[in-house]
A and B are shown apart, each in its own frame.
Chain A
Amino acid sequence: MDTLLLSRIQFGANISFHILFPTITIALGWMLLFFKLRFSVTGERKWMDAYMFWVKIFALSFAMGVVSGITMSFQFGTNWPGFMETVGNVAGPLLAYEVITAFFLEAVFLGIMLFGASRVKPWVHTLATFLVAFGTTMSAFWIIVLNSWMHTPQGYELRDGVVFATDWWAIVFNPSMPYRLIHMLLASGLTVAFLIAGISALRLLWGDRAESVKTTLRVGIVAAAGLIPLQILAGDFHGLNTLEHQPAKVAAMEGNWETGPNIPLVLFAIPDEEARENRFEIGIPNGASLILKHKADGVVPGLNDFVAEDGTPLHPRVAPVFFSFRIMVATGMAMLALSWAGLYLLRRYGAGAMPDVPLYAFAAMSFSGWIATLAGWYTTEIGRQPWLVQGVLSTKDAVSDVPSGMVLSTLIGYLVIYAVLIVAYIGVITYLARKASRGEPLSSRVYPRGGEAEVAALHAGE
């Protein structure tokens, strides 16, 4: 394999591994703040127990996110020097603002949030929790701005093949940014909602009767059920935005070869890029036209429009985009079905008496947010190919000339470490859940609420 493909796989592997953890920490930070505030308002011990359990998972996820993020800041240089040489004048300031407005904020206040509870006043600790959550969200904002600009660049001019910024407002608020940001933040919310619901379900199945577990199951299910329709809506808007700016990507997502009206919604097919047609296609007539143009005879772009005179395709490889899009949508539909069923069961039985079958289903869906998030990112990122920055810089022009053997050996090294760490990460989360299920106290301290010196000790599970 050549350096280009290996570098793409290596960066893809790193960024895939990395995104798993911010996806958790962005929303989990806000969730922890919610637990803290509920405790401040109600004084109920269960909220602090929930905080104490989930803050451990937050700390672990945060560390995983930090170290894998550092890897990427170096890989811009080691693997993709052409990226910064060409678009550094735009990408540079955006990355710099991420570091100075987000990274330091979250990193410094994380120390206070995790280990400072007994050293600072309760309100300072709550403020630190807020600043960590705010920092993770700011970080997501800047990185989504840069990523969206790579999809829908504007506010720049080319001089001697180098991008110069002309309008920062246009760069930051580029056309796909609002859609992508909302889509990603909702994805983070859903990932955390299903993680919390899933791990809580697991603890209930293991016989944990603590109030905090029932509460977090309820919080998880309600959050999931509330967020998933918003996400489907946001995804639809994002798709229409992509249709406007990156039609080749939408054609690949739909698996549509010829531009025309009355295009079916392809549920399943095996796209054959040699023959330029789908095999084993199962579709709903007029479906794609209805979704993308909101009328049955709406014209949907086809892949054959994006082929150069000499036959080289100017569209992404179809199969990966086509399938990852379907995996994302299918996961989303499963999320919708389970969370709404869960909502009904909550009303019917309450969180404490939920039957085993749905509990198993939630436990099985604990990490479903990861699958949907990864599949969604593969859709949009592979869908941008052959461009690194749409219409400005192609991926092959940005790659370094490092020997492919070097890239391959380091790739294997990364993959081995990531595999070990993922197993260890999921292992530790379930271990912590099992430990908590056995009733081992999460904390022996009596928590003061904001403004109060002491509050009566209510030991959960005793």
Chain B
Amino acid sequence: MTYFGDPAIWLPWTFAALMGLSILIYVILDGFDLGVGLLMPLADEQEKDRLVASIGPFWDANETWLVLAIGLLLVAFPPAHGIILTSLYLPVFIMLVGLILRGVSFEFRAKAPLSQKKRWNAAFFAGSLMASMSQGFMLGMYVMGLTWTLSHVAFALLTAVFLTVGYSFIGAAWLIAKTEGALQTRAVGWAKGGIWGLILGIGAISVATPFVSPRIFDKWFSLPEFLYLSPMPILSGALVLYLFWRIHKLPQVGDKTAWSPFAAAMALFALAFTGMAYSFYPYVVPEQITIYDAAAAPESLFIILIGTLFVLPAILGYTALSYYIFRGKATELRYD
């Protein structure tokens, strides 16, 4: 292990990176699942089935990235795990209830008697809403340093709304890619509204984060860092403009660019997330505990890392296989 220098330095860093990657993948993948769930009330009865069909084969695996992310926080940074989750006790509860409702409604709406379908559709929407809102709320609280003051809660409620609308955007972008005809046209309309959540959400966090601590302010606004970092906001701005232009031209004849809003939305999420990670590094509990203070024993982390290096490529491989098998426009979900 000496080849890589001090394992007490590079192991926590590696695990923070893995955890960050898992959170980012989760936010994008379950983001579009939850987004599609949020759009349910806007769709008519037949479209609802198609909405669910577009995410049916994927949602379970998508949600597993959350388990991996929280698992990595749990195993790699045990004290931080306790502090973060106990201070977010209530929003975590709401998110879990939301995820429970969303997950089981998938099955119940298709298997319960038809007379109950409306109710399970409503539960599917409510679950998606609870999960999105609480995740946005937790994001806001995290940015504000996990302390419950009135202004922090107000800010977190704002990010809750923005993230929810942002999820509905990436959900609409997914539907543009996975549907056709009238439903696709409607999805374009939903994307036109949803994009504002993305813009306001990223904007609010970008503006607020530097003012939470002078340390973060200096990381962004001192020279020469400011110059090195300037491509990030510029690129984000360009992506937003591109998205605006793109969704106002859709749907296109021949459906050639149906994937472009989703791809651009992924890039935007990734940029925003990288910016946040840069702001908070090296802290895992904002301004309190660094990843180096919170890390578990190097021996234990090393054991996990070895397994991860072998298994992660396989996971990515068969995940890609699944998306390949279910490529193209979403069709009716059938077991046979």
Q: Is the CB of B111 within 8 A of A428?
A: yes
| A237 interface contact, C-beta 8 A | no
* Chain A: minimal CB distance from B199 (Å): 30
Residue interface mask A86-110, B partner, CB < 8 A = 1 = 0011111101110111011101111
Contact of A92 among B57, B93, B108, B304 (CB under 8 A): B304
| A259 interface contact, C-beta 8 A | no
| B38 interface contact, C-beta 8 A | no
The interface residues of chain A lying within 8 Å CB-to-CB of B57 are 111-112, 114-116
Q: B312: nearest residue on chain A (CB-CB)?
A: A100
Residue interface mask B81-105, A partner, CB < 8 A = 1 = 1111110111011001101111110
User: Looking at chain A's contact residues, is the secondary structure mostly helix, strand, loop, or mixed?
Assistant: helix
Q: Is the CB of A78 within 8 A of B85?
A: yes
| A47 interface contact, C-beta 8 A | no
A105 to B150, CA, bound (A): 43
Q: Is the CB of A417 within 8 A of B100?
A: yes
Q: Is the CB of B71 within 8 A of A99?
A: yes
| B64 interface contact, C-beta 8 A | yes
| A427 interface contact, C-beta 8 A | yes
Q: Is the CB of B315 within 8 A of A100?
A: yes
In the complex, chain B residues 33-85 whose Cβ is within 8 Å of any chain A Cβ: 56-58, 60-61, 63-64, 66-68, 70-76, 78-79, 81-85
A82 to B104, CA, bound (A): 31
| B214 interface contact, C-beta 8 A | no
Q: B316: nearest residue on chain A (CB-CB)?
A: A104
The interface residues of chain A lying within 8 Å CB-to-CB of B88 are 78
| B106 interface contact, C-beta 8 A | yes
A403 to B24, CA, bound (A): 32
A424 to B64, CA, bound (A): 24
A406 to B87, CA, bound (A): 12
Q: How many residues of B contact A (CB 8 A)?
A: 65
| A232 interface contact, C-beta 8 A | no
Contact of A77 among B76, B84, B112 (CB under 8 A): B84
The interface residues of chain B lying within 8 Å CB-to-CB of A74 are 70, 85, 92, 96
* Chain B: minimal CB distance from A159 (Å): 9
The interface residues of chain A lying within 8 Å CB-to-CB of B112 are 424, 427-428, 431
Residue interface mask A108-136, B partner, CB < 8 A = 1 = 11111011111110000000000000000
Query: Given contacts A66-B63, A74-B92, A85-B79, is CB(A164)–CB(B303) below 8 Å?
Result: no
Q: Is the CB of B85 within 8 A of A92?
A: no
The interface residues of chain B lying within 8 Å CB-to-CB of A64 are 104, 107
Q: Is the CB of B78 within 8 A of A100?
A: no
A451 to B318, CA, bound (A): 23
| A400 interface contact, C-beta 8 A | yes
Q: Is the CB of B107 within 8 A of A111?
A: no
Q: Is the CB of B68 within 8 A of A100?
A: yes
The interface residues of chain B lying within 8 Å CB-to-CB of A108 are 61, 315, 318-319, 321-322
Q: Is the CB of B86 within 8 A of A400?
A: yes
| A445 interface contact, C-beta 8 A | yes
| A76 interface contact, C-beta 8 A | yes
Q: Is the CB of A410 within 8 A of B74?
A: no
Q: Is the CB of A89 within 8 A of B300?
A: yes
Supply 8 further A-B pairs (C-beta < 8 A) apart from A73-B70, A96-B72.
A63-B106, A70-B99, A100-B308, A101-B307, A111-B58, A115-B333, A410-B93, A424-B112
Nearest first, the 4 closest Cβ-Cβ pairs linking A and B are: A81-B82, A92-B75, A77-B85, A111-B57
Interface residues of B (CB under 8 A from A): 56-58, 60-61, 63-64, 66-68, 70-76, 78-79, 81-86, 88-90, 92-93, 96-97, 99-104, 106-108, 111-113, 296-297, 299-300, 303-304, 307-308, 311-312, 315, 318-319, 321-322, 325-326, 333-336
